[in-house]
Every structure is written in C-alpha cells, then in structure tokens.
Amino acid sequence: MESKTNDLLNLIRSRRSVRNFVYKKIDNQVIKEIIDCGRWAPSGRNNQPWKVQIVSHPTVKRMIAENTEYGGIIESAFLNLVVFLDLDRGYDRVKDILAMGAFIQNILLAVHAKGLGAVWIGEILKNKEKICEIFKFSPDKYELMGVITVGIIDESLEKKEERKRRPLDEFIDWY
Ligand SMILES: Cc1cc2nc3c(=O)[nH]c(=O)nc-3n(C[C@H](O)[C@H](O)[C@H](O)COP(=O)(O)O)c2cc1C
C-alpha cells in the first residue's frame, strides 16, 4: 500500500509537458484507457460535462494546427485530443470549467503513467469558434477547453530542463 501511494505521488511530481515526439502509432486500446482515466475526474453534481474528439488523421490535424502558433507540435504527434465543454450538460460556469481542468489533468497523468508524453495546448482557445467549425459543432453547444497533444517522447530532443515551482511556503498559511 505504502509503495503504491509513493508510486502515485511520484507520478504526479514527475509529469511534465512534452513537446517533442516520435511519429509512431498509438493503439486505440491505449487511447481509450487514457481517456477512461479522464472519466473518473470529479465534477460538480457529477455532471461530467466533457466531450472529446480523437484526432490522428493528418488532414484534420493540419486544420487544427493552423489555428495556433503551436501547430508544429500538434502535427508532429500521432494523436491530438480536442477537449470541449458540453454546455448543455453544464450547470455553473466556474464549476464546469474546474471539472474540465480535473478531467484534462487526469488524462495528462494517464499519458505519463503509460510512458507517453503530452502537452496541454491552451493558446488555441483564441480560435475556439474555428475549431468548432472543423467538427461541425455549434459554439453554443460545445466550448473548446484545450487540445491535448499526445505522442511517443523523442528523448533525443526533449531537454531535461529543471522544472520550476513556487515554494510551498510562498502560498500556504496554517491556521
Ligand atoms: C491552461 C493551460 C494552457 C497551456 N497552454 C499551453 C500552450 O498553448 N502551449 C504550450 O506549449 N504549453 C501550454 N501549457 C503547458 C504549460 O506551459 C506547462 O504546463 C507549464 O509551463 C508547466 O510545465 P510542466 O507542465 O512541464 O510542469 C498550458 C498549460 C495549461 C494548464
């Protein structure tokens, strides 16, 4: 039990954004397993307001990539998960968006646990309506929350830069 707890804590601490990928297929079963971990995220009233478009087709990837300065990363990876908030399922904007953050973080951790790499692309939100058009989604029904670019890590290009975090004491108070 103790070692399982440590495994999880180490997994959380060692996850990092990966932006260099080797272009190689990821099996559908692995993709499903990763998204399944998203499903177990908490959500207000358990409303589970998520919707995911799984994209590996190069043409669709190109169309998405054109909407962000991080398009090169999107095209270089085998898989992109385009994550939307299903507004019809929503009940409270802040809480729905918080749930989407939990959903995406669960997916990022699952990717890491599988030995794959991912980065959450948020810069693309400036073009959220254009991304809706690609999938023929009404922006009144689905709101883009991010693109999760997933792939096999190119270890030769990934720099193991020191990851910086604010010290705990800077943002905690005890009562
Ligand atoms: C909401 C959000 C939006 C982000 N958008 C981008 C992005 O557009 N492009 C990018 O390269 N990284 C993006 N990131 C990744 C962050 O840059 C990264 O998480 C942060 O620098 C900490 O690094 P780490 O994930 O390696 O710990 C985003 C992360 C979050 C949570």
- Ligand 1 pocket test: which of 17, 111, 148 has the largest number of ligand atoms within 8 Å of its C-beta? 17
Decide whether any atom of ligand 1 lies within 6 Å of the 20 Cβ: no
Q: Is the CB of 111 under 6 A from ligand 1?
A: no
Domains of the chain: 26-155 (3.40.109.10)
Give the per-residue pLDDT at 32. 98
Contact yes or no for 126/107 (Cβ under 8 A) = no
What DSSP letter does each residue of 108-164 carry, written as one string? HHHHHHTT-EEEEE-GGGGGHHHHHHHTT--TTTEEEEEEEEEEEE-TTT---PPPP
- From the CA of 16, how far away is ligand 1's center (Å)? 9
Chain centroid to CA 134: how far? 19
pLDDT at 5: 81
The closest residue, in CA terms, to atom 4 on ligand 1 is: 122
pTM of the full structure: 0.97
Tell whether the model's pLDDT for residue 87 goes beyond 90: yes
Task: State pLDDT tens for residues 44-63.
Answer: 999 999 999 999 999 999 99
| Ligand 1, pocket-test mutation among 119, 124, 147, 166, most atoms within 8 A of CB | 119
Contact 59, 132 (CB under 8 A): no
